[in-house]
Structure 1
Amino acid sequence: MELNGRLQDNGVLVLELREDNLDATNLRVFKDLAQSLIQERRAVVLDMAGVQFVDSAGLGALISLLRQLNARGGDLVLCEMSRAVRALFELMRMHRVFRIAESRQDACQAFTPSTGLGQAA
């Protein structure tokens, strides 16, 4: 699994998930990598370009990540979803749970100074 983190100028952490699937087979690795990269950050974008499939375990991992960030006053924005993954999120009504942006730029701009997010915790 490849999960890279890049800190943007506005303090937003962008995680790049470069994996075909987010499922039960790689769930533990995803969670461990995400934990090590996020640390105390509150503004996180997950770039899902290239992800073609997410199962219920993968959705659970994303929900867990969102809850962790929400617990410290932060948020998670997902972006660059494939059509198949976006369709799954809409079918499961997860588009009502997660903030989803079309592009990485839009996702990063979702964190504005007025929200208090975007700065390091």
Structure 2
Amino acid sequence: MNLTHAITNNILTARLQGDLIGSPDTQQLLEVVNNSINKNIILCAVDLSKVRFINSSGIGVLVSLLTKFRNRGGEMVLINPSEHIRKLLIITKLNAIFTVAEDDAQAANLLKESK
């Protein structure tokens, strides 16, 4: 998995590419999130548009990230997950927990409304 990230308008945007299948690939993502939270960045958008595959460990990482942000009074939004990931969210009933945005602009609006 490849990760790029940026902080704009107090929103961490993490762009993932490849397969989200847990450690050790997700260690960098967790470090980026922890560093951002330590800087009081509590809003996050995770771009999944280029994630090909996700397994239960990957789902666990997303739940963990969501929990980290919500425990600090923040929020996390998923951007443009593939049809495969959307179906997985429905099957696991996590579609009731995660907010999904179609693009960066919608994600930013949803995150700002959550505050």
Q: Please indicate, yes or no, whether the TM-score normalized by the shorter chain is above 0.5.
A: yes
Q: Is contact 1:27-1:57 (8 Å) kept? A: no
Instruction: Please give the TM-score of this superposition, normalised by the length of structure 1.
Output: 0.80
Shift in alpha-carbon separation, 1:58–1:67, aligned structure 2, 3 A? same
Task: Give 2:100's aligned residue.
Answer: 100
- Which structure's relative contact order is higher, taking Cα pairs within 8 Å and 6+ residues apart? 1
Instruction: Please give the TM-score of this superposition, normalised by the length of structure 2.
Output: 0.84
Instruction: Provide structure 1 residue ranges, at least 5 long, that are not aligned to the other structure.
Output: 117-121
Instruction: Provide structure 2 residue ranges, at least 5 long, that are not aligned to the other structure.
Output: none
Does structure 1 residue 31 correspond to structure 2 residue 25?
no
Moved over 4 A (4+): none
CA distance in 1, matches of 2:37, 2:78: 15
Task: Give 1:3's aligned residue.
Answer: 3
Q: Which amino acid aligns with 2:22?
A: A
Cα RMSD, aligned residues only? 1.9
Q: Which amino acid aligns with 1:71?
A: N
Higher strand share: 2
> Which string of whole-angstrom CA distances, capped at 9 and with x for unpartnered residues, describes residues 34-81 of structure 1?
434554311110011110211111111111111111111000000111
- 1:39-58 equivalent positions in 2, closer than 5 A: 39=38, 40-58=40-58
